[in-house]
């Protein structure tokens, strides 16, 4: 499959999973009725998956794959990748998402800044409750071509949480 086709397929997959996470958040957690559903919010959240989350994760996972020696055992490779992911990648990525979600929803900069101050530490702490174990499995056992979609499947729960926190 050509690079563009892979990019588009993965982008659509991530957009669909992120959009589904927002739908679950709105209907399952926020208990909205169909009349109250903010379809624009769902589309914007999904679009972030298409143009930002999917491409960034794909490139970062490819970078990790090329940098961690293949001579290491799968568990050792997975542990190194997970530590780099959680220690170096996640803090700025979570900050970017904490900025982008309210931005695409049209919030003013002062409100976005305050939201980041109020929510970013909690988002990071909760990230570390879920993602190290999920990424250890991902980087140790999931083939590179399926790592982004695996993460997005785990992220259904995470995206519900982020959607609720970042769309308040």
Q: Which residues contact 138 (CB under 8 A, 6 or more apart)?
A: 78, 147, 150, 151, 154
Q: Encoding tokens for residue 145? A: 């071509």
pLDDT in tens, 45-63: 999 999 999 889 989 999 9
Check residues 6 and 21 and name the one with the higher pLDDT.
Answer: 21
Does residue 1 carry a pLDDT above 70?
A: no
CA-to-CA distance for 44 and 163, rounded, in angstroms? 11
Mean pLDDT calculated for residue range 92-118:
95
pLDDT in tens, 21-51: 899 989 988 899 999 999 999 999 999 999 9
Q: Would you list the domain boundaries of the chain?
A: 3-166
47 membership: H or E segment, kind and range: helix 39-48
pLDDT at position 67: 97
124, exposed or middle or buried, with CB in 10 Å at 0-12, 13-18, 19+?
middle
Average model confidence (pLDDT) for the chain? 91
Position 158 confidence tier, pLDDT thresholds 50, 70, 90 = confident
Nearest to 103 by CA among 158, 47, 60: 47
């Amino acid at each position: 499959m050509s690079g563009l086709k892979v990019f588009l397929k993965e982008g659509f997959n991530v957009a669909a999973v992120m959009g589904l996470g927002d739908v679950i958040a709105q209907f399952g957690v926020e208990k909205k009725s169909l009349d109250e559903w903010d379809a624009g919010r769902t589309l914007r959240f999904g679009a972030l998956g298409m143009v930002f989350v999917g491409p960034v994760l794909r490139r970062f996972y490819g970078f990790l794959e090329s940098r961690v020696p293949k001579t290491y055992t799968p568990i050792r490779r997975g542990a190194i990748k997970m530590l780099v992911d959680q220690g170096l990648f996640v803090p700025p990525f979570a900050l970017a998402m904490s900025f982008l979600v309210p931005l695409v929803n049209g919030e003013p900069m002062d409100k976005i800044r305050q939201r980041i101050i109020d929510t970013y530490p909690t988002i990071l702490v909760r990230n570390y409750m879920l993602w190290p174990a999920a990424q250890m499995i991902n980087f140790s056992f999931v083939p590179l071509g399926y790592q982004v979609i695996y993460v997005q499947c785990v992220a259904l729960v995470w995206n519900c949480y982020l959607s609720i926190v970042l769309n308040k």
